[in-house]
């Protein structure tokens, strides 16, 4: 399991809470910390916070990842997959992190306006100049992922990992991407395994006033349909029979597939993180349980 720093490491969050979450993660055995240049708010704040909080004595014990492509500054080179932007944004990320290198640098998106050959050559250059130990892609189509893997291989740098969304409410990667990754020997670290919090106990009785859906920024109320709620309630019944929460069930379900290298989880408190990590205590599913999940998804009109 890996800790994602998207929502809870901006400047609006108490530094001591952030420190406690990181320490708890490390104590629980999490060594993979996932960031991106734009995470905040404001943009860059998550990298800066992590750079302040990471004990330098632990640098060789952790895997630090960041990403590039996102709009970071004004002007034509402030966004995208060009060599100029990607090298500049990684150098700025390293400065905020206070590090000489990141363990993995991801292309956060596929830039259709920049030749894939240029994007891939830039990743190779990052490795050869010591800015990144490994490279990956995120949100790439299966076809472009295969192309990127083969181009990188021809340059002598492996494509280590892909980071797509995956959850009980979003299973698109099962259609072809997972097969491509397996064929190309690429790992898969999935984000949003709890579907922005929908796959938790919070929405069993509707939309809480203090929830992401109520806020409407990253999870809009129209996604919390009666069909989705019915599906989540059926998951709650199964989770209870397994001695798990809905979140623990959802995380265990994602990790059940050996093609999934890790799942990214966020946390607003050390206690929430500890509860999520407990999902790894029960990763086994019976055939009847998996069939029941698929059946409930179909009945609720949710992708299965």
Q: Convert the pLDDT of each residue in 242-296 to its tens digit.
A: 999 999 999 999 999 999 999 999 999 999 999 999 999 999 999 999 999 999 9
Q: Is the separation of the CB atoms in 58 and 67 below 8 Å?
A: no
When pLDDT is averaged across residues 129-140 and rounded to a whole number, the result is 99
Give the model's confidence band at 209: pLDDT under 50 very low, under 70 low, under 90 confident, else very high: low
Q: Convert the pLDDT of each residue in 19-35 to its tens digit.
A: 999 999 999 999 999 99
Give the per-residue pLDDT at 302.
Answer: 79
- In this prediction the pTM is 0.94
Give the model's confidence band at 225: pLDDT under 50 very low, under 70 low, under 90 confident, else very high: confident
Give the Cα separation of 169 and 238 in Å (integer): 16
Quickly list DSSP for 32-72: EEE--TT-TTTTTHHHHHHHHHS-GGGGGG-EEEEEE-S--
Quickly list DSSP for 181-192: HHHHT-EEEEB-
For 134, the 3-state DSSP assignment is strand
Assign a CATH topology to domain 1-163.
Answer: TIM Barrel (3.20.20)
Q: Is 2 or 225 the better-scoring residue by pLDDT?
A: 2
Q: What is the dihedral of CA 194, 230, 201, 172, to 10 degrees?
A: -10
Is residue 210 scored above 70 in pLDDT?
no
Q: Is the separation of the CB atoms in 135 and 78 below 8 Å?
A: no
Q: Is the separation of the CB atoms in 238 and 289 below 8 Å?
A: yes
What is the rounded average pLDDT for all residues in the chain?
Answer: 95
When pLDDT is averaged across residues 117-136 and rounded to a whole number, the result is 99
242 Cβ contact partners less than 8 Å away, ≥ 6 residues apart: 249, 282, 289
Give the Cα separation of 241 and 238 in Å (integer): 5
Q: Convert the pLDDT of each residue in 171-204 to its tens digit.
A: 999 999 999 999 999 999 999 999 999 999 987 8
Is residue 86 scored above 60 in pLDDT?
yes
Q: What are residue 206's phi and psi, to 5 degrees?
A: 115, -160
Is residue 237 scored above 60 in pLDDT?
yes
Give the Cα separation of 162 and 159 in Å (integer): 8
Of all residues in the chain, the percent with pLDDT exceeding 90 is: 88
Torsion sign (Cα): 284, 288, 294, 296: negative
């Amino acid at each position: 399991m890996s800790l994602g720093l998207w929502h809870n490491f901006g400047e609006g969050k108490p530094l001591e809470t952030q420190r406690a979450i990181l320490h708890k993660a490390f104590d629980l055995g999490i060594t993979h910390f996932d960031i991106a240049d734009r995470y905040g708010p404001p943009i860059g704040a998550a990298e800066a916070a992590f750079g302040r909080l990471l004990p330098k004595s632990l640098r060789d014990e952790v895997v630090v990842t960041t990403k590039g492509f996102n709009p970071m500054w004004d002007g034509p080179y402030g966004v995208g997959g060009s060599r100029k932007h990607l090298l500049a944004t990684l150098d700025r990320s390293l400065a905020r992190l206070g590090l000489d290198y990141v363990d993995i640098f991801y292309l956060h998106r596929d830039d259709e306006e920049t030749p894939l050959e240029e994007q891939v050559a830039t990743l190779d250059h990052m490795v050869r100049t010591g800015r990144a130990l490994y490279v990956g892609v995120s949100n790439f189509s299966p076809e472009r992922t295969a192309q990127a893997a083969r181009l990188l291989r021809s340059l002598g740098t492996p494509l280590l990992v892909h980071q797509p969304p995956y959850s009980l409410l979003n299973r698109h990667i099962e259609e072809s991407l997972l097969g491509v990754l397996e064929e190309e020997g690429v790992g898969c670290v999935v984000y949003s395994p709890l579907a922005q919090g929908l796959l938790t106990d919070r929405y069993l009785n509707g939309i809480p006033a203090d929830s992401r859906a109520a806020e409407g920024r990253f999870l809009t109320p129209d996604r919390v349909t009666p069909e989705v709620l019915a599906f989540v309630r059926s998951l709650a019944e199964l989770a209870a029979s397994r001695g798990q929460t809905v979140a623990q069930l959802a995380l265990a379900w994602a990790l059940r597939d050996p093609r999934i290298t890790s799942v990214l989880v966020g946390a607003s408190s050390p206690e929430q993180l500890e509860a999520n990590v407990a999902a790894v205590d029960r990763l086994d599913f019976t055939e009847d349980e998996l069939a029941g999940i698929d059946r409930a998804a179909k009945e609720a009109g949710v992708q299965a």
